[in-house]
Amino acid sequence: MREVRVLEIKQSVFADNDRQAGLLRQELKEKGVFLLNLMSSPGSGKTTTLLRTIEALRNTLKIGIMEADIDSDVDARTIQQSGVKVIQLHTGGMCHLDAEMTRQGLLGLETGDLDLAILENVGNLVCPAEFDTGASKNVMILSVPEGDDKPLKYPLMFSVCDVVLINKIDVLPYFDFDMEKCREYILMRNPDARIIPICAKTGEGIGEWADWLLGEVKNWQCEKNF
Amino acid sequence: MREVRVLEIKQSVFADNDRQAGLLRQELKEKGVFLLNLMSSPGSGKTTTLLRTIEALRNTLKIGIMEADIDSDVDARTIQQSGVKVIQLHTGGMCHLDAEMTRQGLLGLETGDLDLAILENVGNLVCPAEFDTGASKNVMILSVPEGDDKPLKYPLMFSVCDVVLINKIDVLPYFDFDMEKCREYILMRNPDARIIPICAKTGEGIGEWADWLLGEVKNWQCEKNF
């Protein structure tokens, strides 16, 4: 297999992350690149969801993926098999990415020809929620085995996300997961959240998710032209 | 239901966490209190495993539990039903506990009569691994739905833990989880790790885990007397 590109991200020197994030978002808008920040706990299915997303949108959008992890290049190798542009980012032990770290990743990825760049953030429900990466939209995955009470325990993550994908719905019969209760908890944290149950393994629900994402990318690119 | 006690933990003022952790460990040894630091991703089954652990050891040891979360008192309420001493710690948004924060928790719990105090750390595979809490032993849970590749991505967590409990083995048939590969990855990070597959829901494997824990508490208390 072809070797994946691995970039060792340097720690940021900027204290004013919100300003850096705003600048990055503006630059990306001028270039017509939509940046999606995908967050979740470890093992909730970010990479498998990305494979399905690529499958659904690759004929319509030019997509590039940044896989952020503390170590390993497992995820970038998986994504590479889909044929889209991918880079593995190593965070040097850091538990999240901020805007400057994301900028380093985007430079490594080379976004010139892309419509959609996706950052798969470090698996963590706490720290990534605290840092604006400069993304156009934040999306998170909550998987059924993690339990329906997570919005109660990790409020900020649910507050900052535009979409919550509830993944692994194929195993609902084997877990005590109350979908209605979970929706209620999510909306308590974030009344505007869009909630989409999916199964990345089987593809269930991916259509609705891909439609939402495509709509957002198109809006972003249209706004650029006005 | 009786209200649970909730303690708002203050951020630490000590820069030298390792020294604070060493001091706390020494004090606990003098008091004969064994402190276990239990870590994992969100939703891997820490609280259910604790309920089983309490069930197995409550007639032999005096147990107290500290439930650390960013928000909510869901876990402390669950533990309270078992009848053991419990306190909910709110970390004020912090993604981990250090030794000084743990000390605040222990003071709130009141450990005078305890043999075993357990800290259920914030659900997070990154940050808690970086801070010595003063615990006698570190233990982590990896649950089957999270996947067998987690030791590759979160190396430090697996390195600092004496025991890795592999939970939710009842759902092995529904997930692509290779137990042998997982063992190999864990031992690559930590050749001395003890690996115990369990199902906290059914109780499978809890005997081996409780035996290990009881042995460690007894050793700790014996050492105190010499």
Predicted local distance difference test score (pLDDT) of residue B78? 94
Contact A42 B125 (CB under 8 A): yes
Question: Using H for helix, E for strand and C for coil, what is the string for B109-156?
Answer: HCCCCCCEEEEECCCCCCHHHHCCCCCCEEEEEEEHHHCCCHHHHCHH
**Residue range A178-203, pLDDT digits in tens:** 999 999 999 999 999 999 999 999 99
Predicted local distance difference test score (pLDDT) of residue A116? 98
Q: Are strands A85-90 and A116-120 parallel, antiparallel or unpaired?
A: unpaired
**Residue whose entry in the numeric block shows the structure tokens 């990070």:** B189
Which has the closest alpha carbon to A210: A36, A76, A87?
Answer: A36
Does residue A226 register a pLDDT over 60? no
Contact A74 B127 (CB under 8 A): no
Predicted local distance difference test score (pLDDT) of residue B13? 72
Q: What tokens does B187 get?
A: 């031992």
Contacts of A150 in chain B (CB under 8 A): 42-43
Q: What tokens does B18 get?
A: 């390792």
B96, B38 Cβ separation under 8 angstroms: no
**Residue range A123-178, pLDDT digits in tens:** 999 999 999 999 999 999 999 999 999 999 999 999 999 999 999 999 999 999 99
Q: Nearest chain B residue to A146 by CA: give it.
A: B43
Confidence of residue A1 (pLDDT cuts 50, 70, 90): low
Interface of A with B in 119-138 (CB under 8 A): 122-127, 130
Predicted local distance difference test score (pLDDT) of residue A12? 74
φ, ψ (nearest 5 deg) of residue B98: -105, -170
Which has the closest alpha carbon to B163: B203, B118, B202?
Answer: B118
φ, ψ (nearest 5 deg) of residue A198: -140, 165
Q: What would the mean pLDDT of A58-80 be, rounded to a whole number?
A: 94
Q: How many residues does chain A have?
A: 226
Other Cβ atoms closer than 10 A to B143: 28
- Diameter over CA atoms, chain B: 50
Contact B153 A123 (CB under 8 A): yes
**Rounded distance between C-alpha atoms, residue A44 and residue A23, angstroms:** 31
**Rounded distance between C-alpha atoms, residue B174 and residue B29, angstroms:** 44
Q: What tokens does A180 get?
A: 């209605």
**Rounded distance between C-alpha atoms, residue B39 and residue B164, angstroms:** 10
Predicted local distance difference test score (pLDDT) of residue B142? 98
Predicted local distance difference test score (pLDDT) of residue B226? 56
Contact A42 B146 (CB under 8 A): yes
Q: Report the percent of chain A where pLDDT is more than 70.
A: 98
Predicted local distance difference test score (pLDDT) of residue B5? 85
Which has the closest alpha carbon to A78: B41, B175, B147, B181?
Answer: B147
- Counted across chains A and B, CB pairs separated by less than 8 A come out at 111
**Residue A212, Cα to own-chain centre: how many angstroms?**
14
Element housing B194 (H / E)? strand B194-197
Write down the ipTM of this complex: 0.91
Distance in Å, alpha carbon of B124 to nearest chain A alpha carbon: 6
pLDDT tens-place values along chain B, 226 residues long: 567 888 888 877 778 999 999 999 999 999 999 999 999 999 999 999 999 999 999 999 999 999 999 888 999 999 999 999 999 999 988 899 999 999 999 999 999 999 999 999 999 999 999 999 999 999 999 999 999 999 999 999 999 999 999 999 999 999 999 999 999 999 999 999 999 999 999 999 999 999 999 999 999 998 866 5
Exposure b/e, B35-56, CB count within 10 A at least 16 = b: bbbbbbbbbbbbbbbbbbbbeb
Which has the closest alpha carbon to A90: A8, A12, A5, A3?
Answer: A8
Residue A136: C-alpha distances to residues A20, A86, B24 (Å): 14, 19, 45
Q: Which stretches within A32-73 are classed as H helix?
A: 46-57
What's the mean per-residue pLDDT of chain A?
94
List the beta bridge partners of residue B64: B85, B117
Q: Give, in degrees to the nearest 5, the angle at Cα A95 between A26 and B186.
A: 140
Q: Among B70, B72, B153, select the one facing A70 at the smallest CB separation.
A: B153
